[in-house]
Amino acid sequence: MEGDVDYPAERSRIQRGGADKYHQAAAAAGKYHARERIRRLCDADSFREDNLWANPDPTLPADGVVVGSATVQGRPIRVIANDSTVKAGSWGARTVEKIIRTIEAAQVEQHPIVYLVDSAGARITDQVQLFPGRRGAGRIFHEQVRASGRIPQACALFGPSAAGGAYIPAFCDIVAMVDGNASMYLGSPRMVEMVTGEKTTLEEMGGARVHCEQSGVGHFLCHNEDEAIADVRRWLSYLPSNWEQPAPVRAARPPQDIDLAATVPPGESTPFDMHEFIDGLVDRDSQLEIQARWAGEIITSFARLDGRPVGIVASNPAVRGGVLFSDSADKSARFISTCDAFNVPLLFLSDVPGFMVGAEYEHAGIIRHGAKMIAHVAEATVPKICVVVRKAYGAGLYAMAGPAFGSDAVLALPTAKIAVMGAEAAVNAVYAGKIAQIDDPSMRERFIADKRAEYETDVDLRRLAGELVIDDIVEAADLRADLIARYRRLSQKDRRFSTRRHPITPV
């Protein structure tokens, strides 16, 4: 650029982003411009941009990424937004440097980061400048890992997150994906066909539904960009700005008018939806379920009790009987880790028959995945309370923060049972040979009934309370008040656990 620079005009040109045709194409796909996404995410007039002038090339305004600071609901954040109208939001050397600097600044300030992702990945033409060096693209992920557990990191994914860039969402604490537009993939369908011969489409391989329903990388499946932004804003409202602060408190609200006792059917195997039980327990309209479309046999949800955030891990007997599988163990482990990192107390609502058994599941590593969940339960030092709603059998008791795992209280509703396994399975396991020898059907049925009654007496709830296995038997109608009082007492809990560099967690 020769002669005097008209800086206001140049600023306006850069802020417009790419050519009009790219803005029009984005709008036709239901997509906002990067700066409009920031405007909708952040408090009015709070955004302050950094490094606007990156890359003097007029075809690469701001080098395709908008970064800066702002506030959300009055709380400071850092924001990174790909501009898909500039080379499809692809990364150049300055793009990478801007992203790295923003993550570094967020760590210095101890403020959350929100990534608004819509990027075709690295510019292959610039790979030497952006890819391999000490301040290359890999440094982004290094800094994300350093920031993990120190400051919340949220991603709203509006378009592609391609190749190595797919790791930005993967290293975030939550990912909200817009159905039909968002995608994550390491190799394009064309590359996959070249390398493996497999023919697929972008949506089949890495679309929003795939990641929110099958892979578990996505957390919220959103109809449009406004919904994705709203999910990120709401998620941030449950967490402190950093690991050293308490979770934010809101005004208390009464729960929905639901008879908790009536939601739990008497038969231990009768399905029921635990969501209704939770709605009758927590503050009205305070539930924010995480990964609702993946591994539905376990519910992981933020909510509030008397205005205070709580992380809920709950069995859901309405889905696969509430049995724990590898995916549900992974889902729970990550949610528990997030709550523990950011000082959100944990509430476990158990109605679990145990972990899934069978050759297929053993081959898939059910023990390894289950061990990961149990390890995170053990390591969590936030206040944690286990409520056995109907049953806690086998290692399911351990996974749901049973008495041996440092829980601050283990409570049971009058409907609860705690045992290695249910009476039917236990009698069949112990007396299978004897049962097979009884020819008379009526005598066989009487024998089985007698043995089941003996087993039930052995694991009677009153006896378990007498043996101090559980701390109290609480009526369903009294549970909310009991939990509120307990969590208040635990607000200054000593959270020391173990001196070491880090655990070796099953993966």
Q: Could you tell me the pTM of the whole model?
A: 0.95
**pLDDT value of residue 376:** 97
Tell me what the pLDDT averaged over the chain comes to: 94
- Taking phi first (over 0 means left), then psi (-120 to 50 degrees means alpha), and beta for anything else, what does residue 89 get? left
Mean per-residue pLDDT, 418-425: 85
Least confident of 93-107, 373-387, 439-453: 439-453
Q: How confident is the model at residue 188 (pLDDT cuts 50, 70, 90)?
A: confident
Mean per-residue pLDDT, 87-98: 96
Tens digits of per-residue pLDDT, 385-410?
999 999 999 999 999 999 999 999 99
Mean per-residue pLDDT, 266-281: 95
Q: How confident is the model at residue 450 (pLDDT cuts 50, 70, 90)?
A: confident
Torsion of CA 222, 112, 145, 55, to 10 degrees: 90
Domains of the chain listed by start with CATH number:
7-237 (3.90.226.10), 274-420+460-490 (3.90.226.10)
pLDDT at 505 > cutoff 90: no
Whether the CB-CB separation of 59 and 93 falls below 8 Å is answered with: no
Residues whose CB is less than 8 angstroms from the CB of residue 59 and which lie 6 or more positions away in sequence, other chains included: 86, 87
Q: Which of 410, 289, 294 is nearest to 349 (CA)?
A: 410
Mean per-residue pLDDT, 98-124: 96
Q: How confident is the model at residue 344 (pLDDT cuts 50, 70, 90)?
A: very high
**pLDDT value of residue 3:** 62
In the numeric block, which tokens belong to residue 161?
């997150």
Mean per-residue pLDDT, 347-366: 96
Least confident of 10-19, 77-86, 162-171, 444-453: 444-453
pLDDT at 236 > cutoff 90: yes
What's the count of helices (H) and strands (E) in the chain, helices before strands?
21, 16
Mean per-residue pLDDT, 233-250: 97
pLDDT at 2 > cutoff 60: no
Distance CA 265, CA 267 (A): 6
Q: How confident is the model at residue 83 (pLDDT cuts 50, 70, 90)?
A: very high
**Of 451 and 63, the one with more pLDDT:** 63
Q: How confident is the model at residue 1 (pLDDT cuts 50, 70, 90)?
A: very low
